[in-house]
């Protein structure tokens, strides 16, 4: 078992997903949205790996491709040694027990017509995980694990607050004793005081159940709090990857710097230079030539508008895609 401790739990290798849109008439032009473009990373055991970026950068698509809720175009996704991109439906179903997902919106992620008990019991019945008589006990155990009482089992989602629903969502993800959980903006829809409760719950579960997380969020402060390593995405590509202190204390890529400077820090004594920020995220249908960020970049050079920068490994697991470091 020596290898399994060193080997990453999840390895994503050159993952690519393009969406095709047809527009225009009578001569229709086919556009390609490179939602995820050549993305590679790994998630270690008992690690929370963050994926951060603004809306439309492709971070959620990565999460769904990893679970194959969306079929990737190319690239591999390894869960330990299994390449899940090559699995048939049968095999996929069994591997999905090892990988689960928590969704952003706690309101629409639970079927409003089914009780919490029904929602949680159904997967166990369908997959015949245990004897029918035990199901209820297991579900009650699980609910207590996520900080809900056994009494909620016959209630409907509308009787709960957002935070409680998210706990149910977490309980559902834990049903199969997964090894990896994709948390897609799992706390973004919650109020600040509830956010932290849920984050701590996830943290505790990580310790208790040896879980790993692929943690997708637009909120850099939350990522810094929750994750050990993080990748910053911009228009479908990774621009920088490293440990959270590396990325947020000494950002290398100008976009990482921009994001950091734009995130308001709850302290009026800190001056933040909001005035320097220019431009909007370009449409993913027609990203700029060369480095996607160069039109908004203060340090852009000639080459930036011509060539997309290569990925540069800087050691200690840190990498960046920027001509400034080439």
Window 284-323: residues binding another protein (CB under 8 A)? none
Q: What tokens appear for 315 in the block?
A: 């050691």
Task: Tell me how far apart the alpha carbons of residues 295 and 297 are, in angstroms, rounded to a whole number.
Answer: 6
115 binds another protein (CB under 8 A): yes
Cα–Cα–Cα angle for 161, 165, 168, nearest 5°? 150
DSSP state of 81: T
- Near another protein in 144-173, by CB under 8 A: 154, 156, 161, 163-164, 169, 172
Q: Does 13 bind another protein (CB under 8 A)?
A: no
Q: Say whether residue 16 binds another protein (CB under 8 A).
A: no
Cβ contacts of residue 117 below 8 Å, gap of 6+? 136, 139, 153, 154
**Token pair for 196:** 């932290």
**Minimum separation from the CB atom of position 302 to another protein (A):** 24
Tokens of 228: 């050990």
- The secondary structure of residue 314, as a DSSP letter, is E
Choose, by CB under 8 A, the member of 171, 214, 220, 291 that binds another protein.
Answer: 220
Residue 207 phi, psi dihedral angles, 5° rounding: -65, -50
Shortest Å distance, C-beta 39 to another protein: 20
SS3 140: helix
**Least distance (Å) between residue 267 CB and another protein:** 6
Residues in contact with another protein, counted by CB under 8 A, come to a total of 74
Under DSSP, is residue 299 helix (H, G, I), strand (E, B) or coil?
A: coil
Instruction: Judge whether 285 and 31 are in contact, CB under 8 Å.
Output: yes
Minimum CB distance to another protein smaller for 67 or for 321: 67
Q: What part of residues 180-219 is at the interface with another protein (CB under 8 A)?
A: 191-194, 196-197, 199-200, 218
Which CB sits closer to another protein, 73 or 122? 122
Question: Is position 272 an interface residue for another protein (rule: CB under 8 A)?
Answer: yes
Q: Which is nearer to another protein, 196 or 300 (CB)?
A: 196
Interacting residues with another protein between 34 and 53 (CB under 8 A): none
* Residue 148 · residue 139 · CB < 8 Å: no
Only segment of 252-260, 284-292, 301-309, 310-318 that touches another protein (CB under 8 A): 252-260
């Amino acid at each position: 078992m020596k290898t399994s401790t060193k080997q990453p739990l999840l390895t994503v290798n050159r993952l690519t997903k393009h969406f095709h849109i047809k527009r225009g008439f009578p001569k229709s032009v086919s556009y390609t949205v490179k939602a995820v473009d050549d993305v590679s990373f790994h998630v270690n055991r008992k690690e929370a790996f963050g994926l951060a970026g603004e809306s439309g950068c492709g971070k959620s698509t990565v999460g769904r491709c990893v679970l194959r809720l969306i079929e990737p175009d190319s690239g591999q996704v390894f869960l330990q040694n299994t390449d899940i991109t090559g699995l048939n439906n049968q095999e996929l179903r069994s591997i999905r027990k090892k990988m689960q997902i928590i969704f952003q919106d706690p309101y629409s992620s639970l079927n409003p017509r089914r009780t919490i008990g029904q929602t949680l019991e159904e997967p166990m019945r369908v997959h015949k995980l245990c004897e029918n008589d035990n199901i209820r006990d297991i579900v009650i155990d699980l609910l207590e694990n996520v900080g809900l009482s056994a009494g909620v089992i016959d209630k409907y989602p509308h009787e709960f607050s957002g935070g409680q629903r998210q706990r149910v969502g977490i309980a559902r993800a834990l049903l199969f004793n997964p090894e990896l959980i994709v948390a897609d903006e799992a706390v973004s829809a919650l109020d600040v005081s509830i956010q932290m409760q849920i984050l701590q719950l996830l943290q505790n579960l990580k310790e208790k159940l040896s879980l790993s997380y692929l943690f997708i969020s637009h909120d850099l402060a939350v990522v810094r709090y929750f994750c050990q390593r993080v990748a910053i995405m911009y228009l479908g590509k990774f621009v920088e990857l490293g440990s959270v202190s590396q990325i947020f204390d000494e950002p290398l890529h100008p976009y990482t710097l921009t994001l950091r400077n734009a995130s308001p820090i709850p302290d009026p004594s800190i001056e933040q230079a909001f005035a320097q920020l220019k431009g909007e995220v370009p449409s993913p249908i027609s990203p700029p030539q060369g480095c996607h960020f160069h039109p908004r970049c203060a340090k852009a050079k000639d080459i930036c508008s011509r060539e997309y920068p290569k990925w540069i490994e800087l050691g200690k697991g840190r990498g960046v895609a920027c001509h400034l470091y080439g």
